[in-house]
Structure 1
Amino acid sequence: MSDFPFLLSWVQKLNIQNEWILDIACGTGRVTIPFIENGYQMIGVDIHEGMLTEAKRKSTSYTKGKWLQQDCLQLSVEETIPLAYMVGHGFQHFLTNIHQNQLLTSIHNALAENGIFILDTRFPSKEELMQPSTEEYWTTITDEKGRRCDLYTELNYDSIQQIQHYITTRRFYEDNTLVEELKTTIDLRYTYPQELERLLVENGFELLHIYNDWDGNELQEDCYSMVVVCRKKR
């Protein structure tokens, strides 16, 4: 099962009909739009204007969607929200304890009484974090200019800050000659299950489930991505 069927099952479980559902860090509406297509009223929030522009373009034929450019740490939503979610491992982009707390407080304030919040976050397994910190070949693609592009990745885990630093290097070739090299970086925070439960409780949530996957299986040590379901408590 992917994220959408799981989320839809919770929408049905809560018997949501005319209330609004909140997609936090919605991007281009990958999950928001299927809900709109199924007749639900959706609010998609993202900080990136370009993402929202694309989401609006993809949903012009529908009237049950709102797209708001906002900082997730300072959500401002007037509608009653019985269910909010943040998928695509968006939670991991909030790197510090302060930002994690601000995010959860912001979501808590946006939710209706007893509202449900669902998120996914990569499991901090040994295999995920303790990879060699050397550049490794990943794959080869052809770019829009017809050039060969070799992609390499490099991972460095900061065990004090619990942040994995990802470096992706793209090397472009014309006739087997290197003509351009680009590097991009992304930092992701890893949070352990027990730590996550305490974090949620401290920010006014009751942890209902931590699943192994979107199929709702029990959490195991070989988990790749935890699926977390919690309820607004106070």
Structure 2
Amino acid sequence: MAGNIPYSDFAYVYDKLMYDVDYKKWADFIESIFKKYKQNPSLVLDLACGTGSFTIEMAKRGYDMIGIDISVDMLNCAKEKSSHYENILYLNQDMVNFELYGTVDAIVLLMDSLNYILYKKDVKKLFKNVHNYLNPGGLFIFDINTPYKFKNIFKNNVFYDVSDEITYIWQNSFDSKRNICEFDLTIFTKENGMYKRMDEIHLERCYEINDLKKMVNESGLRLLNIYDDLKFAKAPSNAQRVFFVCEREKL
């Protein structure tokens, strides 16, 4: 995640909160995109890699991976989980202003991490940076929470989840004028028979699909397609997550 101040305590409960995310399914979908567009990348950059779960899944499949995240604590968790993998390099950088020593074959930005970028100027900067570090013909794949999700699912709702190890209460407040959604999280984790409380505030920006299309094109990247959540289908009007597949044009 980037765009906000990194959250040190949050890093160590992140995987427990994301227990229902099927990283193998996400990796299957990303690989199917590579195959669909006849790409066989060797070196892949995972921007805003968090605790490295997706990075590790791709490393298991033989890809050389670079994981970038702004949070040192997230990267510490990632390194601990991936100590057996020599084909992963982690870098502590902001996803907007990342720097590499060379170019890569593919870049992914997943788990609605782009929504954490609160200003259009920074999204434009990110896209330009992706263009600079992507090999000709390489793919850039990112997903977003859709305007429908912000306006109809998140809006001003409250969500919660209760388990033996971790419990959270998630209160949302969506400002339609600023297109900013504030997530107010209260988390309780069980430690030595007692519960520790954590409070987090996260912000995401709602981006219109057409605005992102324009920014992609202005960056020099070429938009190949937009897909529904983890499937090769046109996203319906009530889609909650969509994937953009972009290409740096071949020489």
* TM > 0.5 fold call: yes
Q: Give the deviation of 1:85 after TM superposition.
A: 0.3
**Partner residue of 1:14?**
39
Please give the root-mean-square deviation of Cα atoms over the aligned residues, in Å.
2.6
**Partner residue of 1:65?**
88
**Partner residue of 1:231?**
247
**Partner residue of 1:140?**
162
CA distance in 1: counterparts of 2:124 and 2:164, whole angstroms? 42
Q: Give the deviation of 1:117 after TM superposition.
A: 0.3
CA distance in 1: counterparts of 2:199 and 2:86, whole angstroms? 40
The percent identity for this pair of structures is 25
**Match for 1:2 among 12, 25, 30?**
25
- 1:30 paired to 2:46: no
Q: Give the deviation of 1:168 after TM superposition.
A: 2.5
- 1:202 paired to 2:227: no
CA distance in 2: counterparts of 1:114 and 1:130, whole angstroms? 37
Per-residue CA shift, 1:136-180, capped at 9, x if unaligned?
A: 463434457xxxx6x4433222222211112234589xxxxxx99
Per-residue CA shift, 1:179-214, capped at 9, x if unaligned?
A: 997542111111121111111111221111111111
Gaps of 5+ in 1: 173-178
TM-score under structure 1 normalisation?
0.83
Per-residue CA shift, 1:71-111, capped at 9, x if unaligned?
A: 11222112331210011111010011111112212222111
What secondary structure does 1:112 align onto?
strand
Alignment of 1:126-205 (within 5 A): 128-130=150-152, 136=158, 138-142=160-164, 151-169=168-186, 183-205=199-221
Radius of gyration: which is bigger?
A: 1
Gaps of 5+ in 2: 1-23, 190-194
Residue correspondences, number: 220
CA distance in 1: counterparts of 2:72 and 2:154, whole angstroms? 36
TM-score under structure 2 normalisation?
0.78
- In structure 2, what residue type is equivalent to 1:188? E
Q: Give the deviation of 1:134 after TM superposition.
A: 5.8
